[in-house]
Structure 1
Amino acid sequence: GLDVPFMSIYVPAEYQQTGGAKKFADEMIDLVEGIVAKHPDKFSIVASADAAAAIPGSGKIGLALGVENGAPIEGDLANLKYFYDRG
């Protein structure tokens, strides 16, 4: 089966043009974290190679998050660190 799918944090172009890309990305990350919080017996956030390696055989699906483009950075490199810290 599929043990560790990547969850794309995709920001539609409309948010890139009108602003709000960071907020939209935060909401998508919050959504995935909410799924994990509601079903910790089935899902786990995977933020490292070690965490991914621990998933097979655990009975859980590991969710690896990835921001698909740089729009949520919104031209501010502090936002890059912000999303790094979010996992």
Structure 2
Amino acid sequence: MIKVNRAMAEEAVRNRLRAERAAPLLELDTAYIRALEVGAATGGIVEQKQALRDVTEKSLSALTLEQLGGLSLEAALSLEPVGGGN
């Protein structure tokens, strides 16, 4: 029987999410600079960037190992923060 270290599995998922969020953060950085250049609102962009930064602080404890393995960045964004949120 194979045993899986839950903590190591969760950390591996967090590392994958960090890598997956890099491209969207770069795109949002570009959108933010363009918005500043034309005097457009940046609040929505800032919120999206913060959500991507916070994705690695989401609670993964309720997920099965199978769910952890298949967790997408989009699905992770909808999880509760560690501690249950605000």
- TM-score, length basis structure 2: 0.34
Greater helix proportion = 2
- TM-score, length basis structure 1: 0.34
Rg bigger for which structure? 2
Greater strand proportion = 1
